[in-house]
Amino acid sequence: MVRPTGGTRRGFLGGAGAVAATAALTGVAHAQPRGRAVAPRTVAVLGGGVAGLTAAHELAERGFRVTVYERKSALGGKARSMDVPGSAKGGRKPLPGEHGFRFFPGFYQNLPDTLRRIPFPGNAHGCHDNLVPSTEVMLARTHGREDIRIPFTGIGKPPPVLTPDALLRALTAFFETFSRLPAHEIAYFAGRLLVWFTSSEQRRTQTWERVPWFEFTRAARMSADYRQLLAIGITRNIVATKAEVASTKTVATCVEAFLFNALGRGADGEPDRVLNAPTNEAWIDPWLAHLRSLGVEFRTGWGVRDLRYEGGRITEAVVQDASGARRSVTADHYVSAMPVEHARATWNAQLRAADPQLARCDALHTDWMTGIQFYLTEPTPIIHGHINHIDSPWSITSVGQAQYWSGRNFRADYGDGSAADCLSVDVSEWDRPGILYGKTAKQCTREEVAREVWAQMKAGLNDTGRTVLSDAKLHSWFLDPAVELGGAQASNDEQLLIHPTGTWYNRPQARTAIPNLFLAGDYVAVDIDLATMEGANASARAAVNALLDETGSRAERCTVTPLHRAPELEGFKRRDEIRHRLGLPNAFDLG
């Protein structure tokens, strides 16, 4: 329910009303007077990214009446694609831009389940059939060093039983296929991974959460190539975070999942998958159509300003609509599904006092990781996979997208007819000087950022004497509009949660101490422990389950699938729990 409120604080307070109790709980049969229909319970989902849309999906399937409120004019959050303004000509679609390229590792389980349940014409398994595999990844080097290409079949035949010895051999063989590092460094790194694989949950959360990945891998004591390839390169490709400060728990959790995926364990599909069309075409737009068919309503351009708290419950959400007017939104339940930096701005002192985990979210950190797309006049499929420009000062990763977009002719379908490919690039480091201007990305203008990123990519890809990227083939570029540059203060409206050591303890649960408020988002504590679409999806499922528990609903609970755990290693982890309690190191930790 939405109603306008006055423009003063007194008007807001005067407009706050108690939520009318409904007579029945969703999913529960109750005796009712004849002739009276039972109204479904209402839920206000605050945020229209992956977490909010997942929560709306699960709730609508269970009979709740859901309205999604999104502060942006478009839905999908950081996962959406967007039109490049003024780029469409001759009846074509606009060039597709995006916050950053999409990447669906095979160890994702919850998001793929949602994709299967989104109908898509001609697809037996819905939007899930729009996932296509990449076959390799490349580490692009500079200064004459040879690029490294890693096929995803390089780990060899998986051992039938993962004993520590078999796991160590498999890991060593995998890293030997591409790293070209000294044997003793490969053996040491594989040994560090074995320590993680056999560490108990207590050691992982109490010890390794406090140790940076750079320190855990002893990167400072190893060769420069060890640091770049194994300590820094792996984290950038798989985890998209900074090895020097990132928690070992966060990095190793995803490295473990990726390696199990490569070994054929706990996988939904191939290790690296992308979409076969721009994200909105392949996923977001069909999802929104399906949610509308389930009765979900959307309010875009509606930003949450405050959550009113009275009598131990949320009584209303104060929002500002697309016209700038203040309104009061009332519902039986509220799912806060905004990114943490925006969600915590809506939690007033009363809420923080009612649930201390909300206040702890102030200690969570966000940083810039933002995309820029380069449109090329000729198809340029550099490799069939992602490229880690490993020596680039701005920590650049990229992927050539048009090669995956089956059934589409980029030149005929998008833009003005002269662009034939899209090279989508993520920039992860915005505070280190570049190679053209000697300035950080935040100090550059948008034009300078584009020129700098292009130069850093050419420095790696054109380094061996061949011309992979040519200025003559550059059609245009598009930088995420959430980034504001060139003024007195650089800003980014869509930042990424990062994972410095110790921050796991400040990650909240989906259920709060306020009975009608639930949290969903990639900052909520879930098994994957990383700011990802999978984490957002899993947290939304946990929030819906908590809501069902709170209402006493008999509706089926959402499945929340954890990351794979190798049963052969559980005995070693149990023994490590004892060693950890006794203050002893992991049995495989040789220092």
N- to C-terminal Cα separation, the chain: 60
Q: State the average pLDDT over residues 539-564.
A: 97
> Is the pLDDT score of 38 beyond 70?
no
Task: Check residues 262 and 144 and name the one with the higher pLDDT.
Answer: 262
Q: Which of 295-299, 364-368, 486-490 has the highest mean pLDDT?
A: 295-299
Q: State the average pLDDT over residues 461-481.
A: 92
Q: Which of 201-205, 242-246, 463-467 has the highest mean pLDDT?
A: 201-205
pLDDT-derived band at 240 (thresholds 50, 70, 90) equals low
> Is the pLDDT score of 528 beyond 90?
yes
For the chain, give the percent of residues with pLDDT over 90.
Answer: 78
Task: Check residues 384 and 159 and name the one with the higher pLDDT.
Answer: 384
pLDDT-derived band at 10 (thresholds 50, 70, 90) equals very low
> Is the pLDDT score of 295 beyond 90?
yes
Q: Are 444 and 394 in contact (CB under 8 A)?
A: no
In one-letter notation, the amino acid at residue 225 is: D
Cα(195)–Cα(164) distance, rounded to whole angstroms?
10
The helix or strand, by DSSP H or E, that contains position 374, with its residue range, turns out to be strand 370-376
- Cα 25 vs. chain centroid, distance in angstroms? 33
> Is the pLDDT score of 110 beyond 50?
yes
> Is the pLDDT score of 37 beyond 50?
no
> Is the pLDDT score of 7 beyond 90?
no
> Is the pLDDT score of 543 beyond 70?
yes
pLDDT-derived band at 149 (thresholds 50, 70, 90) equals confident
Q: Specify the pLDDT at position 292.
A: 98
Task: Check residues 157 and 579 and name the one with the higher pLDDT.
Answer: 579
Task: Check residues 428 and 19 and name the one with the higher pLDDT.
Answer: 428
Q: Residues 6 or more apart from 363 whose CB is under 8 A from it?
A: 503, 506
Q: Which of 219-228, 456-465, 554-563 has the highest mean pLDDT?
A: 554-563
Sign of CA dihedral 214, 199, 545, 353: negative
Q: Specify the pLDDT at position 148.
A: 83
SS3 of residue 240 by DSSP: coil
Task: Check residues 271 and 235 and name the one with the higher pLDDT.
Answer: 271
pLDDT-derived band at 530 (thresholds 50, 70, 90) equals very high
pTM: 0.92
Q: Specify the pLDDT at position 174.
A: 79
- In 62-147, DSSP assigns E strands to 65-70, 81-83, 96-98, 131-133, 136-139
Q: How far are the Cα atoms of 333, 469, 549 from residue 25, in angstroms, in the given order?
A: 12, 60, 11
Cβ count near 360 (within 10 Å): 16
Q: Specify the pLDDT at position 236.
A: 67
Of 160-164, 194-198, 301-305, 436-440, the one with minimum mean pLDDT is: 160-164
Q: Specify the pLDDT at position 155.
A: 53
Residues 264-294: pLDDT tens digits?
Answer: 888 999 999 999 999 999 999 999 999 999 9
> What does the block give as tokens for 91?
């009846």
Of 179-183, 416-420, 540-544, 576-580, the one with minimum mean pLDDT is: 179-183
For the chain, give the percent of residues with pLDDT over 70.
Answer: 91
Q: Specify the pLDDT at position 139.
A: 87
Q: Specify the pLDDT at position 303.
A: 97
SS3 of residue 327 by DSSP: strand
Q: State the average pLDDT over residues 470-480.
A: 97
> Is the pLDDT score of 309 beyond 70?
yes
Q: Are 43 and 334 in contact (CB under 8 A)?
A: yes
SS3 of residue 111 by DSSP: helix
Q: State the average pLDDT over residues 90-106.
A: 95
Cα(273)–Cα(289) distance, rounded to whole angstroms?
24
Q: Residues 6 or more apart from 289 whose CB is under 8 A from it?
A: none
Question: What are the helix (H) ranges across 35-163?
Answer: 50-61, 110-116
The string over 121-152, giving b where at least 16 C-beta atoms fall within 10 Å of a residue's C-beta and e elsewhere, is: eeeeebbbebbbbbebbbbbbbeebebbebeb
Partners of residue 246 on adjacent β-strands: 500
> What does the block give as tokens for 282?
């392949």
Q: Specify the pLDDT at position 238.
A: 60
> Is the pLDDT score of 5 beyond 80?
no
Q: State the average pLDDT over residues 51-68.
A: 98
Cα(539)–Cα(340) distance, rounded to whole angstroms?
13
Q: Specify the pLDDT at position 266.
A: 87
Q: State the average pLDDT over residues 356-361.
A: 97
SS3 of residue 26 by DSSP: coil
Q: State the average pLDDT over residues 345-359.
A: 97
Task: Check residues 237 and 192 and name the one with the higher pLDDT.
Answer: 192
Q: Specify the pLDDT at position 320.
A: 97
Q: Specify the pLDDT at position 506.
A: 97
Q: Specify the pLDDT at position 22.
A: 34
